[in-house]
């Protein structure tokens, strides 16, 4: 009988020890979304995005640090940090400016959320940087310049050939 009591007590202590040493799990849920209007933007423009934060276990206002990173092929192109105070949930729009020197292509937006303790969460989404009107005009200008040069070269060749025949 005493042996059974000792086994039960030791099992209880083992369970309490496991629960005490268990890692802290929070119920923070974060999502980010880029609307269709901003899924394709030009370099130099603002990228607007929506962030939804749900933190039901939070009993009072809490300061959260939000780090925004825009990356392309693993290289950081733009960064921004903001501080937001939330309670159980928050939904807001924010933006980050895409540098004018950015090349066209697919980019990733990473949103990292931290507090001053052990809370940390990261989400990501993607968008495209497309050629601006200036880039299109430059392209058309060079195509037009190439065609005019080709026509001029053909005209010079035609004139020189017709002079040799006379």
In this predicted structure, the answer to whether residue 1 has a pLDDT above a threshold of 70 is: no
For residue 124, name the pLDDT band (cuts at 50, 70, 90): very high
In this predicted structure, what is the pLDDT of residue 6?
64
In this predicted structure, the answer to whether residue 141 has a pLDDT above a threshold of 90 is: no
In this predicted structure, what is the pLDDT of residue 139?
78
Ranges of beta strands (E only) in the chain are 29-33, 40-42, 46-54, 62-72, 75-86, 89-97, 105-114, 120-130
For residue 128, name the pLDDT band (cuts at 50, 70, 90): very high
For residue 8, name the pLDDT band (cuts at 50, 70, 90): low
Higher model confidence: residue 53 or residue 10?
53
pLDDT over 70, % of the chain:
81
Contacts of 99 (CB under 8 A, 6+ apart): 43, 44, 77, 78
In this predicted structure, what is the pLDDT of residue 119?
81
Q: Compute how many other C-beta atoms are within 10 angstroms of the C-beta atom of residue 64.
A: 21
Q: Tell me the pLDDT of the chain averaged across its residues.
A: 83
Tokens of 112: 């990292």
In this predicted structure, what is the pLDDT of residue 15?
53
The Cα angle at residue 98 between residues 65 and 101, in degrees rounded to 5: 135
Higher model confidence: residue 166 or residue 77?
77
The burial of 26, by beta-carbon neighbours within 10 Å (0-12 exposed, 13-18 middle, 19 or more buried), is given as: middle
The DSSP letter of residue 22 is: S
CA 123 to the chain's CA centroid? 8
- Give the pLDDT mean for 149-154: 90
For residue 45, name the pLDDT band (cuts at 50, 70, 90): very high
- Give the pLDDT mean for 128-138: 77
């Amino acid at each position: 009988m005493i042996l059974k009591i000792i086994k039960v007590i030791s099992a209880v202590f083992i369970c309490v020890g496991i629960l005490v040493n268990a890692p802290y799990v929070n119920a923070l849920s974060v999502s980010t979304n880029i609307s269709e209007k901003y899924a394709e933007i030009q370099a130099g423009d603002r990228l607007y995005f929506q962030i939804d934060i749900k933190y039901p276990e939070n009993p009072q206002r809490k300061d959260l640090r939000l780090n925004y990173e825009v990356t392309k092929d693993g290289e950081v192109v733009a960064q921004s940090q903001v501080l937001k105070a939330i309670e159980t949930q928050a939904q807001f729009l924010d933006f980050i400016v895409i540098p004018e020197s950015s090349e066209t292509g697919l980019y990733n937006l990473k949103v990292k959320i931290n507090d001053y303790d052990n809370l940390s969460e990261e989400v990501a989404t993607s968008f495209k940087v497309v050629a601006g009107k200036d880039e299109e005009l430059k392209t058309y200008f060079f195509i037009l310049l190439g065609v005019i040069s080709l026509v001029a070269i053909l005209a010079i060749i035609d004139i020189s050939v017709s002079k040799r025949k006379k």
